[in-house]
Amino acid sequence: MEQKVVFLDVDGTMVDSAGKIPASTKEAVRKAGENGHKMVICSGRSRFQIYDELLEMGFSGIVGAAGAYVMAEGREIYHAYIDGEHRRSSYDYLEQNGFLFCYQADDGIVINRRSYDGMAEVYREMGMSEERLLRLRGNMHLTEEPWSRETSEKIIYYRSPFSVERVHADMEPYFDAVAISLEGADEFAGEIGINGINKATGMEIYLRHAGVARENCIAIGDGPNDLQMMEYAGTAVAMGNAREDVKSRAAMITDAIDRDGVYNAFVRLGLIS
């Protein structure tokens, strides 16, 4: 079989709502790698949120921060940051309208006290375990000037007074906003990234570096920030627990994460037997 590059989302695809990675997912990634295919993490998470248990599965690369960061074979090959003007203007918009929000920088979360306290409450309401919360937060920079971090890649927000569509419209043309891909989050939570940078652009950068044609890549995902990834991939696979708009863009729908969805997709695709 010709070598494939498989781009795997994290939350809802490889990591369940309790923050656990199914044993079958680990086995699938290991076996496919041994069969000569390249496994690549493709996530909205920044690099610091991709913890050792994920990395130890045997990945050839990372598309992180929803495309703002790309690593191949242990080397960073692309990194995009929000410019100073738009870090400050985004802060003013979000703070004045009462959002709870933080900036994802390359080395940690950057957040003020008001949002920190509010987001801690949101995560408790979502029933998030302390272990998963610590892994999502990673390093944290508590400051009343969160816009000042020059290595900010994207923004996460909760308890928006507006719909995602309104946030997107308000923050164009520099930014793009999509619903957040965390189970338990409501429709007033989202991710804000640089417009024109997304998982699909990160995939393209990785494939060009690896010398692999687009038609030989596979994407597996479940959430809103996977939509461009699904549309770009040569073969798009939706998890059984995916949103309906993700499933509608998929060539294949596998089982849910708690029913060996990744493993069963790999078998059906011929990556493993």
pLDDT digits (tens, 9 = 90+) for 26-38: 999 999 999 999 9
Shared domain for 75 and 91, answered yes or no, is no
Give the other-Cβ count within 10 Å of 139's Cβ: 12
Helix axes 84-96, 164-171, angle to 10 degrees: 140
Shared domain for 256 and 122, answered yes or no, is no
**Domain limit, last residue, from 159, 194, 229:** 194
Look at residue 201 in the predicted model and tell me its pLDDT.
Answer: 98
Shared domain for 210 and 258, answered yes or no, is yes
Shared domain for 251 and 225, answered yes or no, is yes
Shared domain for 70 and 168, answered yes or no, is no
Give dist(CA 81, CA 165) in Å, integer: 23
Q: How many domains does the chain have?
A: 2
Look at residue 136 in the predicted model and tell me its pLDDT.
Answer: 66
Give dist(CA 112, CA 142) in Å, integer: 6
Query: What is the reported pTM?
Result: 0.93
Shared domain for 110 and 177, answered yes or no, is yes
The CATH code of the domain that includes 184 is: 3.30.1240.10
Helices (H), the chain: 23-34, 52-55, 84-96, 113-125, 130-137, 164-171, 199-210, 227-232, 244-247, 261-269
Shared domain for 92 and 75, answered yes or no, is no
- Nearby residues of 4 by Cβ (< 8 Å), 6 or more positions away: 37, 38, 216, 217, 218, 269, 271
Look at residues 233, 17, 29 and name the one whose alpha carbon lies nearest to residue 133. Answer: 17
- For residues 37 and 271, the answer to whether their CB atoms sit within 8 Å is yes
**Domain limit, last residue, from 141, 168, 194:** 194
Shared domain for 190 and 202, answered yes or no, is no
Look at residue 138 in the predicted model and tell me its pLDDT.
Answer: 65
Shared domain for 90 and 188, answered yes or no, is yes
Shared domain for 62 and 93, answered yes or no, is no
Shared domain for 210 and 183, answered yes or no, is no
pLDDT (tens digit per residue) in 81-136: 999 999 999 999 999 999 999 999 988 999 999 999 999 899 888 888 777 777 66
What mean pLDDT is predicted for residues 27-50?
Answer: 96
Quote the mean pLDDT of the chain: 94
pLDDT (tens digit per residue) in 159-183: 999 999 999 999 999 999 999 877 7
Shared domain for 112 and 171, answered yes or no, is yes
Identity of the amino acid at 47:
R
The CATH code of the domain that includes 205 is: 3.40.50.1000
**Domain limit, last residue, from 194, 210, 229:** 194
What mean pLDDT is predicted for residues 34-53?
Answer: 95
Full domain range(s) for residue 176:
84-194
N residues, the chain: 273
What confidence tier does 137 reach under pLDDT thresholds 50, 70, 90? low
What confidence tier does 184 reach under pLDDT thresholds 50, 70, 90? low
- For residues 208 and 226, the answer to whether their CB atoms sit within 8 Å is no
